[in-house]
């Protein structure tokens, strides 16, 4: 009888969304409440897009020599949720991995490929505890990656540069994410009608 009762409770919790509202097991892991641990297995997460010469600020030195590639990955359960709904669940973590590019020895002249040198590693997290609902983190340059990153400031620091939140609020295609650069996700967002106004 106890077993039947527990089964009914779990079934009700699942149907009413109580279970789904738990943070995902593959989502962001914090220490001290808001400092984000660097995931070590993100290269096994779904890849959602790559660009060349589109990464910003922190890689300006490297860009003078060669435009960097930027690969973006997302935790698997949030990827599956987006593909079904066109929206990000709470606890979504996107990883931005910026790599030096090279054309040395390329089999086609002018072609560029990704090198083992990571220039910078960053994350964007959907976190309902925050006023904006999103936070941005950087584990720093690839030659000295930190294990833990504090959230980037959400308001301007006075150096004239726009903050992550400001730029993502102004230009992102879905919520605060640059889905305009993630081709398979862009098609889902169009189908589901979840593009921000202006897209």
State the Cα–Cα distance between residues 97 and 73, nearest whole angstrom: 8
Piece in contact with a copy of itself (CB under 8 A), picked from 17-25, 85-93, 97-105, 127-135: 97-105
**Cross-strand pairs, 69:** 52, 99
Piece in contact with a copy of itself (CB under 8 A), picked from 7-15, 16-24, 123-131, 176-184: 176-184
How many residues are given for the chain?
199
Total residues at the site for a copy of itself (CB under 8 A)? Answer: 41
Piece in contact with a copy of itself (CB under 8 A), picked from 4-12, 28-36, 103-111, 126-134: 103-111
Which of 74, 75, 92, 99 is close enough to bind a copy of itself by CB under 8 A?
Answer: 99
Smallest distance from a copy of itself to CB 24, Å: 16
Q: Restricting to residues 53-72, which ones interact with a copy of itself according to CB under 8 A?
A: 53-56, 67, 69, 71
Smallest distance from a copy of itself to CB 162, Å: 11
- The two tokens of residue 133 are 């609902």
- The two tokens of residue 156 are 């301007």
Burial 46-76 (b: 16+ CB within 10 A, else e): bbbbebeeebbeebeebbeebbbbbbbbbbe
Three-class secondary structure of residue 71 per DSSP: strand
Piece in contact with a copy of itself (CB under 8 A), picked from 2-10, 26-34, 47-55, 124-132: 47-55
Residues sharing a CB contact under 8 Å with residue 6, sequence separation 6 or more, in sequence order: none
Name the site residues for a copy of itself (rule: CB under 8 A).
43-44, 46-47, 49-56, 67, 69, 71, 73, 76, 79, 99, 101, 105-108, 110-117, 167, 171, 180-184, 186-187
């Amino acid at each position: 009888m106890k077993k039947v009762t527990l089964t009914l409770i779990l079934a009700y919790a699942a149907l009413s969304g109580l279970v789904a509202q738990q943070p995902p097991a593959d989502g962001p892991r914090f220490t001290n409440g808001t400092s984000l641990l660097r995931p070590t297995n993100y290269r096994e997460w779904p890849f959602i897009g790559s660009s060349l010469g589109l990464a910003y600020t922190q890689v300006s030195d490297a860009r003078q020599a060669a435009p960097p590639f930027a690969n973006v990955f997302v935790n698997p359960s949030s990827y599956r949720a987006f593909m079904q709904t066109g929206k990000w669940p709470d606890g979504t973590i996107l990883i931005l991995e910026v790599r030096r590019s090279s054309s040395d020895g390329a089999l086609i002249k002018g072609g560029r490929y990704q090198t083992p040198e990571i220039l910078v590693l960053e994350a964007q997290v959907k976190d309902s505890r925050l006023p904006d609902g999103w936070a941005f983190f950087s584990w720093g340059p690839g030659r000295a990656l930190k294990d833990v990153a504090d959230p980037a400031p959400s308001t301007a620091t006075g150096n004239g540069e726009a903050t992550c939140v400001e730029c993502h609020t102004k230009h992102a295609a879905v919520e605060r994410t640059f889905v305009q650069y993630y081709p398979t996700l862009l098609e889902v967002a169009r189908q589901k009608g979840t593009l921000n106004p202006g897209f």
